[in-house]
Amino acid sequence: MRPCISFLFFALFVAVIPTSAVAQKAAHKKRVAVFMFDDKSDSNFGWYGSKSVGEGVSDMIVTELVQSGLFRVIEREQLNALLREQDLGTSGIVTPESAAKIGQLLGVEIAVFGSVSEFGYKRDETGVRVRGTRVGVGKQSAVAGIDLRLVNTSTGEILLAENVRETKNALSGSLDVKQVSFENQKDFDQSLVGKVTREAVVKVVQLVNNHSERVPWQAKVVTAQAGKVYINSGALDGVEVGETFKVYRKGQALIDPDTGLELGSIDQEIGSIRVDDNRVGDGKAAACSIVSGSGFEKGDVVKGE
């Protein structure tokens, strides 16, 4: 009896392993573009450096996203070049509509933008009397506030509109409020305002990660030749050899008659492909064989089955 029970237990255990392994498979990394944040902080403390507060915070968000290893982040130079090409580089105004448009052109799923609402040091004082003499007792605090917006570039939907605010207090006489800049990262990180900014940025990245699950992963066909279809996603994004994807041809755009926003498009499935080599372009692309369909073209959309 015992050998039979043991064999049954073993068989059930083996049968469960593949299902668990599939369930634990890492998700594909989604592409993110971080636009430069506006500076609406009206900061009045000792600040210097060539970078604005908005640019510095944007760069910190990019760095944190990259170091998280959860996303493919578009390089700032590539984003700025496209902004200039679309005549959006000088205005500095980013809207959900323009972010979605630029995001689609860049092939990203999520656009991150917003503004720095608070940044710097504040001083709060109260008066008390000691032996008849009024003495000022107060605290100084560092504050960093970020108004965050996330947009699904495929639909223009605002995924998140959130304010992240971090503060730290110090006794008024113990805080050395000196000039800092993003160019001197070490001094900035050691300053109180640098610490609260870092904490706020970490929370921003957590929010991006949490809400990115609402956006499906997708890639695009780069080219199709000699019986192979090359897509702009590979090992660096978690794409694995043997995976199969469906390929769609983007059709008529669905425009909301009231708002004018694009709600998606009527896409036509044109076939499916299987990954043969996920390390093309150092893992940034993949070569796929054709499972079904034909006529694959540059720009066709690749989605999970």
From CA 251, how far away is CA 271, in angstroms rounded?
15
Q: Which CATH number do you get for residue 64?
A: 3.40.50.10610
Cα angle value 195/201/205 (rounded, 5°): 145
Same domain, 123 and 183: yes
Same domain, 56 and 203: yes
What backbone torsions phi and psi does residue 260 show, to the nearest 5 degrees?
80, 5
Same domain, 153 and 252: no
| % of the chain beyond a pLDDT of 70 | 77
Q: How confident is the model at residue 281 (pLDDT cuts 50, 70, 90)?
A: very high
From CA 294, how far away is CA 218, in angstroms rounded?
19
- Those residues whose C-beta lies under 8 Å from the C-beta of residue 220, and which sit 6 or more positions away, are 107, 231, 232, 298, 299, 300, 301, 302
Same domain, 241 and 259: yes
Segment 230-249 mean pLDDT: 96
Write the pLDDT tens digit of every residue in 254-271.
777 876 666 667 789 999
| Amino acid at position 184, single letter | N
Domain boundary among 190, 212, 234: 212
Query: Which residues constitute the domain of residue 291?
Result: 218-304
Same domain, 180 and 230: no
Q: Which CATH number do you get for residue 255?
A: 2.40.10.410
Residue 272 falls inside a structural domain: yes
Total domains in the chain come to 2
Domain boundary among 166, 183, 212: 212
Q: How confident is the model at residue 69 (pLDDT cuts 50, 70, 90)?
A: very high
Write the pLDDT tens digit of every residue in 134-161.
444 557 888 999 999 999 998 888 999 9
| Burial class, 253, CB count within 10 angstroms (exposed 0-12 / middle 13-18 / buried 19+) | exposed
Write the pLDDT tens digit of every residue in 158-189.
999 999 999 988 765 555 556 667 777 788 88
